[in-house]
């Protein structure tokens, strides 16, 4: 009988410890990120924002830059590319007008996509962490059309959002 009582008390103590640990973790979350090789404990996260940047360069000059929240970056890239087509069409005769689906840069280009997440937390008023960055080079022979660029940005946005949701989204 004494052995059963001792085992029951030990089980209750362990259950109590686990319960207290779960309560502590719920009240004092220990969200952790790595920034420049340093582990930072955020504590409770009050807000988080994803900001993406798309930069297209060619011939050592910037051809297009868009910085926007990740949820609107595709829309803004599309709008800028549509504006490029509209401006290009102003000098073309009616039969030679370009469309978004057929327009492309007539130079080698580098497409750089990056996203930064900024947290407002218990321990930091504002801390930013690079989340994802991709750089892709294309030659003029690839004839990467504007619609292809929009599709690449869309795929990047989806992948980055998924990475964020799986590993860095601390607000449920």
* pLDDT at residue 155, rounded to an integer: 97
**pLDDT tens digits, residue range 44-67?**
899 999 999 999 999 889 999 999
**pLDDT tens digits, residue range 137-158?**
999 888 889 999 999 999 999 9
Which residues partner with 117 through β-bridges?
50, 129
As separate numbers, helices (DSSP H) first and strands (DSSP E) second, the chain gives 3, 6
**pLDDT tens digits, residue range 15-46?**
767 665 555 555 555 688 888 888 888 888 99
* pLDDT at residue 37, rounded to an integer: 87
Surface-to-core class of residue 42, CB atoms within 10 Å of its CB (0-12 exposed, 13-18 middle, 19+ buried): buried
Rounded-to-integer distance, Cα 74 and Cα 52, Å: 10
Q: pLDDT: is 132 or 98 the higher one?
A: 132
Q: Is the pLDDT score of 162 beyond 70?
A: yes
For residue 15, CA distances in Å to 19, 123, 142, 145 come to 6, 31, 63, 61
For residue 107, CA distances in Å to 55, 65, 78, 138, 145 come to 15, 17, 19, 9, 12
* pLDDT at residue 31, rounded to an integer: 83
Q: Is the pLDDT score of 11 beyond 60?
A: yes
* pLDDT at residue 34, rounded to an integer: 85
């Amino acid at each position: 009988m004494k052995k059963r009582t001792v085992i029951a008390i030990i089980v209750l103590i362990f259950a109590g410890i686990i319960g207290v640990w779960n309560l502590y973790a719920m009240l004092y979350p220990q969200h952790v990120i790595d920034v420049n090789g340093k582990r930072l404990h955020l504590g409770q996260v009050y807000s988080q924002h994803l900001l993406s940047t798309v930069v297209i360069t060619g011939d050592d000059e910037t051809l297009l830059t868009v910085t926007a929240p990740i949820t609107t970056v595709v829309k803004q890239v599309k709008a800028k590319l549509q504006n490029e087509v509209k401006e290009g069409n102003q000098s073309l005769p009616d039969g030679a007008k370009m469309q978004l689906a057929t327009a492309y840069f007539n130079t080698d280009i580098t497409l750089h996509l990056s996203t930064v997440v900024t947290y407002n937390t218990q321990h930091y008023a504002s801390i930013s962490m690079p989340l994802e960055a991709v750089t892709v080079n294309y030659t003029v022979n690839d004839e990467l059309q504007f619609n292809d660029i929009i599709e690449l940005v869309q795929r990047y946005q989806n992948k980055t959002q998924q990475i964020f949701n799986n590993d860095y989204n601390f607000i449920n």
